[in-house]
Structure 1
Amino acid sequence: MSSKVAVVTGANKGIGYAIVRGLCKRFDGVVYLTSRDEERGKQAVSNLNKEGLKPCYHQLDINDTKSIETFRDYIKDNHGGIDVLVNNAAIAFKSNATEPVSVQAEQTVGINYFSVLNTCEILFPIVRNGGRVVNISSSAGHLSNIPSATLRSRLANPNLTIPQLSELMKQYIEAAKQGTHAAEWGNSTYVVSKVGLTALTMIQQRMLNDRDIKVNAVHPGYVDTDMTSHKGTLSIDEGAVAPLYLALDAPDTVRGQYMWCDKRIVDWVEKKPLE
């Protein structure tokens, strides 16, 4: 019951898999590789076993409340809590996707924002005081990607609440359904989902300060994964560097920040830096 616990969502491949690998090498405790698909997750664990690493496995679908609750209860019963939570699970439609923008908006924001939020609300009560939460964002999650100055101001409001942020995300989905989204929100559903996640990070930090829990968002870089159609220039292990830094090494003063892949803390509101 006393062992420390690290959890990575969506970890059967890509950056999540590499984060598990890095945690297994350095984290002083139990590392859980989780995935929606149990067979793929167990195969990922088997592959890491061949490297001499010993992650544990548990099924976790962040789009399924019952799955999250089952996982929470398992961790609580077997370990008492979580010390590191890496919210990595996400989706992205390809640039040539044929689904209408209304469908893309609902599914992308639904998983990358609302499902992550739901996962956090269910798991945060068992994150131990002093723990660390890493939200895997993106360069797409920089506020400058939102065209509307009014929206940027609302999203950057230091007093923004989760219900208010969630309402903005719902307004975007509705605008996408009506075909009126582009002028204010831009043309990328992925951008809106990751901006939402980064804004959520700032709010979560304010809410968890009294428990000394550090919550940060990170752009892992342009990584060679299925999500980038393998166009990324970084390996998955290079993409795991900044998330692992936030999970294990960053000073306790780093909290509620937006970090770039080279470990720079970036101003989320001002102009986006170059890669």
Structure 2
Amino acid sequence: MIDLIDYLGEHLAYRYHHLLRGSDIRMNSKIAVVTGASRGIGRAVAERLGTDGARVIVNYHSDAVAAKDAVAAVERAGGRATAVRADVRDATQLSSLVKAAVTEYGGLDVLVSNTGMARPTSLADATDEDLERHFAINTRPVFRALKEAALHMRHGGRVVVISSGATVVAHPGAGLYAASKAAAEQLARAAAHELGPRGITVNSVLPGATRTDALQAQMPADVAASIRSQTPLGRLGEPADIASVVAFLVSDEGAWINGQTIHASGGLF
């Protein structure tokens, strides 16, 4: 009887210790690829998943210094990360990025597609080249990422597509951006049905106005103040807010959420 009590005490202490550490149990040894991870939301996602115990592949396009900083941030938080350069607009490079995870690290469990660009243009002034550019950056990489997930992701994997609140709140000049992001969301929904039988979930996350370097460089102070006043929580989002949503979706606790579009805007939309 004493031995049983001792065993239960040790077992409960072990469980309590790991609960305090958050999601180490959920993400331990998982291999995660995060595209566009050298800055902003992508970097926050990479840091969070690394902190939660995943081995993170930090994808970047051109800024090797920023990618190195992102890797260092993950490692300072106790995680493991590797920076891999790839232009995800290029099908061959994206395929090589995913295959690197499979061949060098043993598999692919999590894929977060976080690429995008917006160039405000009215429909009257927009050209075919403008349309192609938005879809080349905001849609095609998502299509290719989902294709790679279908080919290489292990049973029970997780895919998250970072979309935009522009798909639900219309703004003048944002038509091409919204259309290209909405197309990516529909691809994610289709993939959720196709990959579901393998236990793979696919979801989209729609951030509200989030305080990234890019947003702060482009958004006038009066517009930011207006958005804060319209947001029930009274502030702009932080990249870490979006990363927390992604971390839940890719965890074991998020296993029953599939084919959904999650609004992460503090109530703005």
TM-score (norm 1): 0.72
> C-alpha offsets along residues 207-265 of structure 1, whole Å, 9 cap, x if unaligned?
111111000011122101244245462222123222222122543221000111169xx
Match of 2:85 in 1: 59
Aligned in 2, Cα 1:122/1:226: closer, same or farther, shift over 3 Å?
same
Counterpart in the other structure of 2:181? 194
1:178-257 counterparts in 2 under 5 A?
188-230=175-217, 231=219, 233-248=236-251, 250-257=253-260
Task: Please identify which structure carries the higher helix content.
Answer: 2
Contact 1:222 1:239 in 2 (8 A): no
State the alpha-carbon separation in 2 of the partners of residues 187 and 90 from structure 1. 13
Within a 5 Å distance, the mapping from 1:122-137 to structure 2 comes to 122-137=148-163
1:269 aligned residue: none
DSSP 3-state at the match of 1:129: coil
1:21 counterpart letter in structure 2: E
How many correspondences in the alignment? 223
Aligned 8 A contact 1:6 1:32 in 2: yes
| TM-score between both structures, scaled by the size of structure 2 | 0.73
Q: What is the letter of the counterpart of residue 71 of structure 1?
A: L
Task: Return the alpha-carbon distance in structure 2 between the equivalents of residues 79 and 54 of structure 1.
Answer: 12
Q: 1:120 aligns with which of 142, 146, 150?
A: 146
Alignment of 1:17-166 (within 5 A): 17-27=43-53, 29-37=54-62, 39=64, 40-94=66-120, 100-142=126-168, 145=170
Render the CA deviation track for 1:3-62: whole Å, top value 9, x for unaligned. 4201110000000000111111113x3111111125132243234445554322211221
CA distance in structure 2 between the partners assigned to 1:201 and 1:138 by the alignment:
14
Kept in 1, the 8 Å contact 2:38–2:63? The answer is no
Describe the SS at the equivalent of 1:41. Answer: helix
Kept after mapping to 1: 8 A contact 2:189/2:260: yes
Quickly say closer, same or farther: Cα 1:34–1:26, change in 2 above 3 A: same
Choose between structure 1 and 2 for higher RCO, CA contacts under 8 A separated by at least 6 residues: 1
Q: Are the aligned partners of 2:188 and 2:203 in contact in 1 as well (CA < 8 Å)?
A: yes
2:109 aligned partner, one-letter code? D
1:195 positional shift: 0.8
Could you say which residue in structure 2 is the equivalent of 1:162?
none
Identity of aligned residues (%): 28
SS of aligned partner of 2:154: strand
What secondary structure sits across from 2:101 in the alignment? helix
Deviates more, 1:11-20 or 1:68-77: 68-77
Structure 1, unpaired ranges of 5+: 147-181, 264-272
Contact 1:220 1:242 (C-alpha < 8 Å) held by counterparts: no
Q: 1:155 corresponds to which residue? A: none
Distance in 1, Cα, partners of 2:103 & 2:80: 21
Residues 236 and 219 (structure 1), Cα distance of their counterparts in 2 relative to 1, 3 Å cut: same
